[in-house]
Structure 1
Amino acid sequence: MTALRIGGSVLLALCLAGCGFELRGSASLPTEMDRTRLEIADPDSRFARELRLLLEANGVRVVDAAAEGAAVLRVSRERISRRALTVSGNARVREYELVFDLGFSLTGPDGTRLLSNETLRLVRDFQFDEQEILGASNEEDLLREDLRRSMAAAVIRRLEAVRTP
């Protein structure tokens, strides 16, 4: 039994190595972002906290005040909206769609525009059953949290692609 487990583990490791799978390391953000001020309407929002954590995890020192020599990551729009996606024959909503729209820009420490007015949009949909209202509400909360995490990761990936002069 032990030999079978070891053999299975070795086979799995070889398959993963052969397909090019690689764990994602830290992002390679522009050096201008070493010290960055995050400007966002609600700095205590769940998304702002998630973005701040990801920035810090990737080596960025997030400063609060208008520190000299700090880049500015400005979030101009952060909105999650819900809309009916499908409606049944008796005019009851069966499926909703959550849409997270985000607008942001990045200015370097010297005031140069590194990223101008970028927009990102993420969409998730979920089934709604009025008989299971509590479950649907919990599912919506989980999807909103997933959207926040996914959006913060998408911002980091976009910042990683910034090429500086």
Structure 2
Amino acid sequence: MKTLKQLTCLIGLLILSGCGFELQNTGNLNQKIDSVYIQTLDPYSSFFRSIKDALRNNGVMISDKRDEASYVLVIKEDISSDRILSISAKNTPMEYELAYQVVWSLFKGNQEIISDTKHIETQDYSFDQNQLLGKRKEAEYLNDSLAAKISKGVLLKLGSI
């Protein structure tokens, strides 16, 4: 009985590996994308830094010149914003919502591999006028974490090509 279970499990694994099944985010991205040039309007944004680091950590070479890269990642929109969600009786903000939106596409030569893809992440946080410096740092940290979440989504999409 035990060998039957082991045999069934082995056959299942062979079928999955034979059909090309791969768990998400377990493959090496550098086997699919060896080098990339990142075209952006804002090279100092949280998302640009995050995606650049994420690609490097996955073994992808970041090229400084467009014509030397095998792929071009075009960041068309990279917008972070905030809005007031609630105010106090004294008419001061009590809660904000941060939003980060990125629109990007991927090219190989002149051929568009992935057309305009939009990622939006939001996060709300409480605000206290008496803790202005701390809350400003918290907003920066949350903004960076939203950019990192979007970067992970972009990497998953890039891994599917």
TM-score range, shorter chain: 0.7 to 0.9
Hey, what does 1:145 align to over in structure 2?
Answer: 144
Quick one: which amino acid aligns to residue 91 of structure 1?
A: N
Identify if the C-alpha distance between structure 1 residues 101 and 46 changes in structure 2 by more than 3 Å, giving closer, same or farther.
Answer: closer
Normalising by structure 1, report the TM-score. 0.73
The superposition leaves residues 6-50 of structure 1 with CA deviations (integer Å, 9 ceiling, x where unpaired) of xxxxxxxxxxxxxxxxxx965544855212111111224342222
Number of residue pairs aligned between Structure 1 and Structure 2: 138
1:16-95 residue pairs with structure 2 within 5 A? Answer: 27-29=27-29, 33-68=33-68, 70-95=70-95
Hey, what does 1:129 align to over in structure 2?
Answer: 128
Identify if the C-alpha distance between structure 1 residues 72 and 124 changes in structure 2 by more than 3 Å, giving closer, same or farther.
Answer: same
Q: CA deviation at 1:153?
A: 1.6
The superposition leaves residues 66-112 of structure 1 with CA deviations (integer Å, 9 ceiling, x where unpaired) of 22561111000001101001122332211000000000000124x22
Normalising by structure 2, report the TM-score. 0.75
Identify if the C-alpha distance between structure 1 residues 44 and 84 changes in structure 2 by more than 3 Å, giving closer, same or farther.
Answer: closer
Q: Secondary structure at the match of 1:42?
A: coil
Return 5+ residue gaps in structure 2 as ranges.
1-23
Quick one: which amino acid aligns to residue 129 of structure 2?
A: E
| 1:115 to 2:114 alignment | yes
Return 5+ residue gaps in structure 1 as ranges.
1-23
Q: CA RMSD in A?
A: 2.2
Q: Secondary structure at the match of 1:135?
A: helix
User: 4+ residue stretches of structure 1 with deviation over 3 A?
Assistant: 24-32
Identity, % of aligned positions: 26
